[in-house]
Structure 1
Amino acid sequence: MRGQSHVVGIVLLLGITTVALGGLTTVVGGIIDGQTATADERRVATALDREFRPVERTGPNRVDVRFSEGRLTTVDRELRVLNASGVQREVDIGGLVYTSGANRVSFVSGAVVRGKPGKAWLVRGPPVTVTRDNDTVLVGAVTLGERGVAVGGSGGVTARLRTNVTHDRTALPRADYRVAIETATPDALARHLRERDLTTARRDIDGDGVPSVVASVEGTQELQLVVHRTNTEVAGG
């Protein structure tokens, strides 16, 4: 009997050890998956920040966005210029959003944002500036051009962005202007604009569920609207 008890004890111990090792494997696997997803988020943000710069480029270009798993999709976004009379210009800017589990990166009108709504931060701000010496607001609107496209998978994915960038400038007469940029991460964008002495508010202008950050500067200004058309094609590698 004593020998049988000894054997039973060993079996139980082995069973407990196996369960413990299984739990440890699950925890370690979760940590590795989380680290991989975070590395992917960082890699995507870096590619969009360093290589996808339509404001600074003209003509054809190609950017490869690589990640181990996840999905890069195009989204509908608008930029609007408003004054007391209403919307003066509306630009279909579009955007790119990378998601993988809890990780997220977006590109909207030149801005690169990491993190989900409510916990996001800017990697690069949008090209919106105020020139004090001649009371001018310079607004850059980066348009994507591509719609309804998604590239995703696992085991290593490459999304290729082929662009052909052109620029178009329009001067609007002096008025009390506001600039509304549609984004799913308004807090990060609003913080950036407030740091540049712009007053911000939040509105869902077209009722589509995606808010716009509405930025304004006190007093009448001349507004220079520069539309950077990327004419982007998004494809899988």
Structure 2
Amino acid sequence: MSVGTDLLDLQELDLALARSRAELADMPEIKALARKRKAYLKLKDEALRLMGRRKDLQTELADLDQDERDCRQAVDDAQRGCVDPSDYDEVQRLELELSDLAKELDKIAFAREELTRRLAEATEQEAQAADYLERYERAIKSDAQAARDKASKLQQEIDDAERRRSALCARIPEDFLAEYERCLKSFNGLAVERLDGAVPSLCRMTLTESSLSDLSREEGITHCPYCHRMLILSEEA
């Protein structure tokens, strides 16, 4: 195989490598994962907030239960107390005390009903959030695995291409290879073109008869008189 063909093949390989590296570095799946992880953290914070709200309501209910026990104990104590039925003031005081305790028990019952309703809502919201969070986490794990698989495949393609590149470079004479690397940097990855009749394949500037005459005296690889890339005059060279 000719040096010209090897140079053209090397350029195609380098272009493919550049595309693969760019695709790996800028995978949309990675950016999407970053957005999803950020959203996941917000969902997790919301789930923690809902759990805290549910626990607060449970604490309030527990406090109400204790208040009720204290009130009922106070009722029992008052009813067991020794009150002289003939002592009007004592009887009035007892009735007032029991009335206040009854009102307090009514307040507790009303508050418990409202707290129980709010606790049921909070518990349901917490369960829904936990279920959604679990499904979201599974989706993230699945997406992350798919992204890893894609990245691994791209990296394998890059590794294989780099091995082929090394083998190809070993066949090209050092002076041609050095010139190729120089042109590769100068022309942003498009270092080599072939002559198609009177037109170079990349710059597409039709060569004059005098230019063609000058090139006819060159060997198989020279430089384009217009763009100065490496110009393959004949892939058989």
Larger radius of gyration: 2
The question of a shared fold, defined as TM-score above 0.5 by the shorter chain, is answered with: no
Question: TM bucket by the smaller chain?
Answer: under 0.3
TM-score by length of 1: 0.27
Q: Which has the higher strand share?
A: 1
The structure with higher relative contact order (CA 8 Å, sep 6+) is 2
Q: Which has the higher helix share?
A: 2
